């Protein structure tokens, strides 16, 4: 029998490590426990210690649709915007960390996106009902407004999916519940991006997603920017003393960075 070479010994070990890491990642994502995102929250806090903690701007928080919005600051410019989206988080998990990803920054405006992972599930996680999603969002709003009573919170409607299409009726139901909940308080606003993401036949556009059919590509984020930026910029201007709905002259709309390189 020939002796095993070093490569023949190392390859199975590396394969086992990859399998273990993938399994751990799947179990982590399938957990409802908010503490699975602790390392990401600590990374935000480390950035604040290193670079200084920004305050008084826009804070965007929520799940991976926010986390992957890498052009967010440029897309919202010149209104200052901070990205505090993390992981494949669910609504109750974002609520759990509101005192660390929102409140310390004393934002003038909060923008929130999550709910897809709750309703469609992530790997083996328990799927939530639209009512549970709305209740978790209510907890988020109550937690933020207990510390920042004057700060408006904008809920970006759950987007029509290319994948997970079977969950779209539940997502629409959750959107309606949150729209109704938001109508009860002027500090809560519902930001509807759904019409801009449907084609001429009322179906989800297929050209605005990455390969996975879940996360947005640059074109998708450009659509979000077109809808979201003027609304939150006006809210920010109003919070800083400008007339309601009138951004200051120095805050002229810029071309969305998400459109860079797009035809």
pLDDT in tens, 136-193: 999 999 999 999 999 999 999 999 989 889 999 999 999 999 999 999 899 999 999 9
**CATH dotted code for 7-245:** 3.40.50.1110
Low-confidence ranges of the chain (pLDDT < 70): 1-9, 11-31, 242-263
Tokens of 179: 């729209």
User: For 79, which DSSP code?
Assistant: S
Phi and psi, residue 83, nearest 5°: -95, 115
Considering Cα of 67, then 196, then 156, then 31, what sign does the dihedral take? negative
Tokens of 71: 């052009």
Q: Where in the chain does DSSP place strands (E)? A: 58-62, 81-85, 109-113, 153-156, 188-191
Residues in the chain: 263
Rounded Cα distance between 157 and 151, Å, is 19
pTM of the predicted structure, to 2 decimals: 0.83
Q: Terminus-to-terminus CA distance in the chain, angstroms?
A: 62
Chain-centroid distance, C-alpha 196: 18
Specify the long-range contacts of residues 205-211, CB closer than 8 Å, at least 24 apart.
205/162, 206/162, 209/162, 209/163
pLDDT of residue 120: 94
């Amino acid at each position: 029998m020939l002796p095993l070479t070093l490569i023949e010994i190392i390859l199975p070990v590396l394969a086992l490590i990859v399998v273990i890491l993938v399994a751990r990642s799947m179990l982590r994502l399938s957990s409802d426990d908010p503490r699975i995102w602790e390392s990401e929250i600590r990374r935000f806090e480390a950035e604040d210690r290193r670079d200084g903690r920004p305050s008084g701007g826009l804070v965007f928080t929520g799940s991976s649709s926010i986390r992957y919005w890498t052009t967010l600051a440029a897309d919202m410019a010149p209104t200052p915007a901070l990205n505090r989206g993390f992981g494949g988080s669910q609504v109750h998990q974002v609520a759990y960390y509101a005192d660390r990803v929102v409140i310390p920054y004393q934002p003038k405006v909060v923008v929130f996106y999550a709910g897809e992972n709750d309703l469609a599930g992530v790997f083996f996680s328990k799927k939530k009902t639209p009512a549970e999603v709305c209740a978790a969002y209510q907890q988020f709003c109550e937690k933020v407004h207990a510390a920042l009573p004057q700060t408006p919170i904008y809920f970006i409607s759950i987007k029509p999916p290319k994948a997970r299409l079977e969950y779209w009726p539940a997502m629409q139901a959750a959107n309606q519940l949150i729209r109704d909940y938001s109508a009860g308080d002027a500090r809560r606003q519902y930001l509807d991006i759904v019409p801009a993401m449907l084609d001429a036949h009322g179906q989800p556009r297929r050209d605005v997603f990455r390969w996975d059919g879940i996360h947005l590509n640059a074109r998708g984020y450009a659509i979000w920017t077109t809808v979201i930026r003027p609304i939150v910029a006006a809210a920010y201007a109003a919070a800083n003393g400008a007339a309601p709905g009138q951004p200051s002259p120095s805050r002229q709309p810029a071309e969305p960075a998400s459109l860079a390189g797009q035809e």
